[in-house]
A and B are shown apart, each in its own frame.
Chain A
Amino acid sequence: DAGVIQSPRHEVTEMGQEVTLRCKPISGHNSLFWYRQTMMRGLELLIYFNNNVPIDDSGMPEDRFSAKMPNASFSTLKIQPSEPRDSAVYFCASSLVGEDYNSPLHFGNGTRLTVT
């Protein structure tokens, strides 16, 4: 069981540059979540997909953020242009959500983004 795979593990970029974070969910899971974690705000939900369709993007901070899920095995989170305040650890998680909404979320190990 490979788990949720995120890449890169670390990303350092300059303000104004485009950043793309990648995620491969667990095979068979039908829901995918992007979270951002900072000391100040904790773990915040940015967007989540169900069966590759975006369901709730109310947590996406600005138009600079966009997320796609072209197929069941791949998702991207893009920031363009990046700003220093975007520095955080970004987590992808997947789950098999059915009638029981208590299915656990399986998290990747995150991408630590630093924008200078």
Chain B
Amino acid sequence: TQLLEQSPQFLSIQEGENLTVYCNSSSVFSSLQWYRQEPGEGPVLLVTVVTGGEVKKLKRLTFQFGDARKDSSLHITAAQPGDTGLYLCAARTLAQGGSEKLVFGKGTKLTVNP
């Protein structure tokens, strides 16, 4: 079973449209991160949210952490072709030895058509 469920799996929209993608879990997290991955490259961190109900904005991207810290959403306003990529959410969970490790959802593959 996947710790983090992302939806939708695929999303294809026209330039200028708005969209929201989701990251859900039954577990509570101390924080959650969003990464974007472009073809042929590794994921790059966009934002970290740490407080329940927190909203962070990064230009046209708005990230929200659920009040119960089990879920998060990413909203993009007026999408542009440069927003195309795989959007991954990630959260920390217990690792061996009592430390923590970062696990990822499967991602939402976004295509913005000109």
Contact = CB atoms under 8 A, between A and B. Distances in A.
A104 interface: yes
B102 A105 contact: yes
Residue with the highest number of chain A CB atoms closer than 10 Å, among B2, B48, B50, B101: B101
Contacts of B30: 101
B101 A102 contact: no
B40 A109 contact: yes
Interface residues of B, number: 26
Contact of B42 (A42, A55, A56, A110): A110
B45 A105 contact: yes
A45 B103 contact: yes
Contact of B101 (A41, A45, A109): A45
B94 to A, nearest CB: 9
Nearest to A57: B96
| Interface size class of chain A, counting residues whose CB lies under 8 Å from the partner chain | 20 to 34
Contacts of A93: 42
B28 interface: no
B95 A56 contact: yes
Contact of A107 (B43, B92, B95, B101): B43
25 contacts: A33-B102, A35-B104, A42-B104, A42-B105, A43-B43, A43-B106, A43-B107, A45-B102, A48-B101, A50-B99, A55-B95, A55-B96, A55-B99, A56-B95, A56-B96, A56-B99, A56-B101, A58-B95, A58-B96, A101-B100, A102-B50, A104-B33, A107-B43, A109-B40, A109-B42
Interface of B: 2, 30-31, 33, 40-45, 48, 50, 88, 92, 95-97, 99-107
